[in-house]
Every structure is written in C-alpha cells, then in structure tokens.
Structure 1
Amino acid sequence: MEFRRARRPEQVAARRAAILDTAEAMLADRPVAGISLRELSCEVGLARSNVLRYFDSREAIFLEVLDRRWSAWLDEVEPLVRAARAEPVPYGRAIAVATALASSLLRHPLLCELVSGTAGVLERDIGIESARAREARATANTDRLADLVRGELPQLDRAGATHFATAVVVITAGLWPSARPAEAVARAGAEPGRPPAAEAFATALTEGLVNQLIGLVVRSS
C-alpha cells in the first residue's frame, strides 16, 4: 500500500485510521510487545518517519487501539447489562450488573491484554499531546461506563459509579497476567489440583467486580 503525503484534514484522518486498522489487525497474530514500529510501518506501507508524523510513538498507536476497543466493548455491553436478570437475593441487581460486565470482558482477551499493559508499557513512551488525548478518551469511556452502571443502580452516587468504572480497568489489568502463565508455571499450578489459569481468572474477575460494586452500593445507601 502506497500513500501520498496527507495534507487535508480528511486525508490525515484517513491515514491515521489506516495505521490504527493495521496495528489492530497485527494484534490478531502477536502481542503488543512483539510488534515493532518498523514492522508496523512496513505493513501500512509507510516509512517509520512518516508514521511518526501521525503518532509520536508506537505506544501512542496501541493506546488509541485500546481506546477504540474499549469504546466498541461499551457498545456491546450496554444492552447486555440492561438485560441482565437479577436474582431475588440481597444486592441482586448489583450482582447481575457486575457479572454481565465480567462475562463480556472474558470474551475480549485482546482488550484485557491491552488494558493490562497500559500503565506499565503503553503509557511509558508518549508525548504530552498524546497523553492529553489519551486522558480525554479514557475519561469519556469511564464516564460512559459510570453512567451505564448508575442507570441500573440509581442508589449509587456519581462518585461511587465513577470509582467502579475505574476499578473495572484496574481489576482487569491486575488479574489478566495470571490468565496467561508460562508453560512451566501452568504445569506446576495444575499439579496440586488448582483450576486452569483461564478459569481462575474468570472467577477472580467476576468476584472482584461483584464485591467492588456491592461495597460501593452499600456505602452510597
């Protein structure tokens, strides 16, 4: 794929979209750590220096891919949360909402992978303008999730809903590395009869979100 230099705003937007689409497609075959800026540039058909006209680093590209994925996940999860059936138990609605969120996240391993690498990897080599843009996108996604949760649990105050939306990211990021252990670690863990790593991750994520949300509802009541 060959490009002429983008000059008009719509051309710049199209070029950025092409770079993001290529980066996202490459993630289907390898982790973020295995994709260099040089390889990405070759795939998109641009020199490395030209890619850096649109993003200040490799990390900035994948942060924007993350935010696109997060926004798409919110599109998917919104009707699932609203349709989640609450059991007639204490805090049943909170349990249903948190469980629906966890179940949906489990179907998006790439999103979990990107979330887990945000603070330690992807945010380590970006410029101030990319950081500001990232903060704006992340805040918009956090606010959207908070609004969704608060719509289902009106007793939850705004601060509590925002805290939970942030906790979804933090809990997912913290737990995800354990879902993909090295082969030796996985074998050693299986010997005493522990559940497979993926199963343990699913349980821990669900329990973490449920307990976090119930606690916040109790504090808001």
Structure 2
Amino acid sequence: MSEFRRARRPEHVEARRTAILETASSMLRSRSVSDISLRELSDEVGLAKSNVLRYFDSREAIFLEVLDRTWGEWLDSLDLPASFGDGPFAREVAVATEIAWSAGTNHLLCELISVTASVLERNISVEVARTFKQRAAAHTDRLAALVRAAVPALSPEAAGHFAGAVFVIVAGLWPYAQPTESVRAATAELGMPAAGEMFQSGLTEGLVNQLVGLVARSAG
C-alpha cells in the first residue's frame, strides 16, 4: 500500500490505474455493478478507498473506464460477414445477426451498457463526463463505419442511427436477461424460454428490424 502512495512517475500511475480497472473487470464477471461498492473494490485491489480515489474520481468513473476499454476491445474483435445468402435483405440480416450475437455474448459489455445512464453517468465530474462522451461518440462512429462498409446501401446518417440503436437496445433488454430466482422459476413454470435465450432472440430481432428498416427507408 505504501508503494501505491509513492507512485509518481507517469508509467507507475498508469500501472496503478490498470490494476484497478482489471480488478473491477474481474469482479464484474460474477457480480453486477450495483453489487460492487468502492470499499469492496478497494479491498480487492489492496488499497484504502482514499488511495483508489487518487486515480479515479469515483466508483462510477472506474466503471466508465472499464466500459470504454471493453467497448473498444469488442469493436476490435467484431468481424462482420462478407458473404450472404439469398433472399430479400440477406446482407442486412446477416450483418445485424452477427452484431447481435457478438454483443449479446459479451456479458461485461452488456452489463456496463445497461447501467450507463442510470448509474455510471451519475456522481462523475464534468471532465470525466466529457471524456467518456467523446470516447463513446468515437466508438459509435467506428461501429457506424464498419456497418456501412458491410452494407453500402446505408447512408452515413442511417449508419450512425443504427450504431446508436445497438447501445440503446442492449441497455433496454439486458436487465431482463438477469432475472431473480423467483422470476426465473415463474417463467420456467409458465413454459417461457430462458431469460438468456429471450435476450438474444430479442436483440437479434431488434437489430435486424432496425437495419432492414433503415436500408428500406434509404432506398425509398
């Protein structure tokens, strides 16, 4: 802990920040954001809360940074299809389906997106908010460019709308993929699909309809 307090060189500070972010990411693999307090995170890193706050403004600022990194890594790994089947809007269906599968199976990304507006964008400074919004806009623009390269019929404006819709639809659906035990039991009794299956099918349907609709409107 004393070595943490003595960190002054930029590379040492960055190493400390990375350690905090990696610990936060690790904790999120088995817990939700709402279940992780700053004190618990600090204990896991091996620091006092005051020392963690030397590197980040707040708990929310930490998780926004994790989201930024996770979002960028997801885009790095996104591989949109280059070949498509036959039928109307086959290209659009294939592209939207791949995005839905890739995003939907990234639980860390989905968890952080789902609490961005309601939790993570609270209790942060103007500087943190500005930086996050700039990076979020860059990620959205990057996704829009990838989608437009795969679906040339899409206008730049429509591609931007679709990229934003990915974030919004994930945010709206993900909480339902994490039901309580009571809700899980009730849905099973009623013969309804498992929550994870419903989330993935709903995300796919939502993104397919968005992309197909935007291309159809562009053509019209």
TM over 0.5: yes
Residue number among 148, 158, 162 corresponding to 2:156 in the alignment: 158
Give the superposition deviation at 1:108.
1.1
**Secondary structure at 2:118's aligned position in 1?**
helix
Q: CA deviation at 1:141?
A: 0.8
Q: Residue type matched to 2:84 in 1?
A: A
Instruction: Classify the secondary structure of the residue corresponding to 2:85.
Output: coil
Residue 217 of structure 2, aligned match among 186, 204, 219: 219
User: Aligned ranges for residues 183-202 of structure 1 at < 5 Å?
Assistant: 183-202=181-200
Residue deviations 1:201-220 (CA, integer Å, cap 9, x gap): 11111000000011111122
Q: What letter corresponds to residue 126 of structure 2 in structure 1?
A: I
Residue type at the aligned position of 2:55? Y
Following TM superposition, by how much is the alpha carbon of 1:11 offset from its aligned partner in structure 2, in angstroms?
Answer: 2.4
TM-score, structure 1 normalization: 0.93
Residue 6, structure 1, aligned to residue 7, structure 2? yes
1:42 CA displacement = 2.1
Amino acid at match of 1:92: A
Is there any run of 5+ residues in structure 2 with no aligned partner, and where?
Answer: none
Percent identity (aligned): 62
AA aligned to 2:56 is: F
**Could you give the per-residue CA deviations for residues 128-160 of structure 1, whole angstroms, max 9, x where no partner exists?**
111011111111111110000000111111111
Q: Secondary structure at the match of 1:90?
A: coil
Give SS of 2:214's match: helix
Structure 1 unmatched runs, 5+: none
Assess if the C-alpha contact under 8 Å between 1:22 and 1:43 holds in 2: yes
Matched position secondary structure for 2:86: coil
Higher mean displacement: 6-15 or 209-218:
6-15
Question: CA offsets, 1:185-212, max 9 Å, x none?
Answer: 2222233322111111111110000000
- Asked whether the equivalents of residues 24 and 63 of structure 2 are also in contact (C-alpha less than 8 Å), the reply is yes
How far is 1:56 from its partner? 0.8
TM (norm. structure 2) is: 0.93
Give the match's secondary structure for 2:143: helix
Counterparts of 1:46 and 1:185 in 2: how far apart (Å)?
Answer: 38
State the AA in 1 paired with 2:86: P
Aligned residues: 218
- Write the distance in 2 (CA, Å) between the matches of 1:21 and 1:196: 31
